[in-house]
Chain A
């Protein structure tokens, strides 16, 4: 068998083809996007999930990028508000590779992308927080709290750079930590304690005030009840008296003279007592009557 014979060449070609066949297919998973590079230069069309054909190695090669929503949690950082208060703000960002070609050409890896994001967010967030006084970050009036707007402004500013430069879309950027610096903790706690004791005192004095008010109301009510009852009792007595007098005068009206006589007699009986001394002349009609007996 000679090496130049056509049979040998055919066999060699078949073997080579068999070896290269697997590298003509590639699979892109649901979570990925594939970029085919021909001699290292990316082709324009992107590979969606599924089975695809390409030219065999070493002509075409496949680069895969994550097409899912990616979570990146920042480190908390101390920042200054507009009214020069120190706060510790933490954020996280949800991002996605929006332009895989650009991403592949510029940052290439996730680590590199996150390093860029970290820098961009740190400066944008610092600027956004610096525009707000503390009272528009935390406030007892929920409508005055502008944390959301701070995050949105930061996202907007980061997005302006990342999308055209790196092909990274910022899907959302939110604050997931907001605190006062650790070195202020002692003084904050001290203030909280003082506030609590003030509130406790207020509760007690309000309670006492309320109790006094209730007592005073009760005294007033008591007075009113008794006064009313007395007035009514007086009225009842008066009515009774009036009725009694009406009854008597009706009776006496039958003979007023006789009544006057009886009343006089009764008066004498009442007027005269053991302290009374009566001087009578012996010819008094009263004694005459006695003599006559």
Chain B
């Protein structure tokens, strides 16, 4: 073996390799093939992130559409395919017109309005969401547009701009959902939001004038009401004053009567004690009082019958 020992290291390596292959060739081939198969199969592990769901397709056929988050295994690529989507989140979709970010609608009373609308939806059945239509969002967008158009066509412009907003949102949501279910879209409409409802810019000023007029009218009415309240309040006060005065007068009158009665009773008592004296006294005092301011003309007895008076205003 002297020749072999003298050969260079690389040559000896090849000799060794040839020898090993000759002895263990079959076993090595088996190990190599096994390794390849194991690696190929190991490529089938995958994870579904939190908040996502997966759908498993085997040779293109949907097998399972509700794979939950976590580590999973599928057969390697070429056989099984997994599609993931965020199913826990609510997705926002803007409802736009064909050439315009807002929709232009016609109200029931032939007025033009533009509305800005967004909807929010959630994926309910992943398999249907992924495979029942070519474009779920386009289907949703067009359906909501159709429902909005119908809602606007049945309402006056004043209602649309003010009170009917909530009703329209609700109606559109319910009716759109009915359609989505019929189309088997696998989505749930969470909300429909009318962000803006506006008249066309050229007529905006006119609409503002109406609002102003309404505010003015309301202000006028409330001022009239406060004036009226004040007037009625004053009248009520005056009425109370009348009553108080009347009561005071009545009380005063009663008091006077009481005084007069008392005086009468005092005099009566005196008269009962000494009638003559009382009569004379009272008479005399009265005559004195009565005659004091008068002009007294004393005539000889019997002249009074001959007196001719021309009564003139002094």
Contact = CB atoms under 8 A, between A and B. Distances in A.
B287 A185 contact: no
Contacts of A278: 291, 294-297
Instruction: Kindly name the residue among A48, A51, A151 whose own CB sees the greatest number of chain B CB atoms within 10 A.
Output: A51
B92 interface: no
A164 interface: no
Contact of A68 (B98, B133, B154): B133
A171 interface: yes
B301 A281 contact: yes
Contacts of B242: 226, 229-230, 232-233
B198 interface: no
Interface string A42-79: 00000011110000000000000010111101001000
A225 to B, nearest CB: 4
Interface stretch (A8-16, A28-36, A117-125, A153-161): A28-36
B2 interface: no
A214 B228 contact: yes
Contacts of B157: 192
Contact of B239 (A32, A226, A248, A254): A226
B303 interface: yes
A226 B267 contact: no
Contact of A197 (B209, B236, B282): B209
Given A138-B110, A234-B246, A277-B297, A148 B150 contact: yes
B60 to A, nearest CB: 4
B265 A251 contact: yes
A243 interface: yes
B231 A222 contact: yes
Nearest to A143: B154
B147 to A, nearest CB: 8
B296 A237 contact: no
Chain B interface mostly: helix
Given A73-B142, A233-B246, A239-B250, A192 B203 contact: yes
A28 B213 contact: no
B289 interface: yes
Contacts of B286: 265-266, 268-269
B61 A140 contact: no
Contact of B254 (A214, A244, A268, A269): A244
A279 B296 CA distance: 6
Contacts of B218: 207
A145 B108 contact: yes
A226 B238 contact: yes
A201 interface: yes
Contact of B267 (A49, A240, A258, A275): A258
A113 interface: no
A109 to B, nearest CB: 15
Contacts of A286: 287
A283 B303 CA distance: 11
Interface string B103-130: 0111111111000000000000000001
B94 interface: no
Interface string B123-164: 000000011111100110011011001100111110000000
Contacts of B73: none
Contacts of A196: 203, 206-207, 209-210
A229 B227 contact: no
B203 A254 contact: no
A1 interface: no
A185 B201 CA distance: 12
Given A222-B231, A228-B239, A280 B299 contact: yes
A70 to B, nearest CB: 5
A243 B254 contact: yes
B314 A225 contact: no
A269 B289 contact: yes
B304 A233 contact: no
Contact of B294 (A210, A265, A272): A272
Nearest first, the 4 closest Cβ-Cβ pairs linking A and B are A240-B250, A207-B217, A142-B154, A229-B239
Interface of A: 27-32, 48-51, 66, 68-71, 73, 76, 90, 92, 94, 134, 137-145, 147-148, 151, 171-172, 174-180, 185, 188-189, 191-193, 195-197, 199-201, 203-204, 206-208, 210-212, 214-215, 217-219, 221-222, 225-226, 228-230, 232-234, 236-237, 239-241, 243-245, 247-248, 250-252, 254-255, 258-259, 261-262, 265-266, 268-269, 271-283, 286-287, 289
Given A225-B239, A226-B235, A269-B290, 16 more contacts: A71-B142, A178-B153, A192-B157, A200-B214, A203-B210, A204-B213, A211-B223, A212-B224, A222-B234, A237-B246, A241-B250, A272-B290, A274-B293, A274-B294, A274-B295, A282-B300
13 contacts: A71-B135, A180-B110, A185-B200, A191-B110, A196-B206, A221-B228, A225-B238, A240-B250, A245-B257, A269-B286, A280-B299, A281-B302, A287-B298
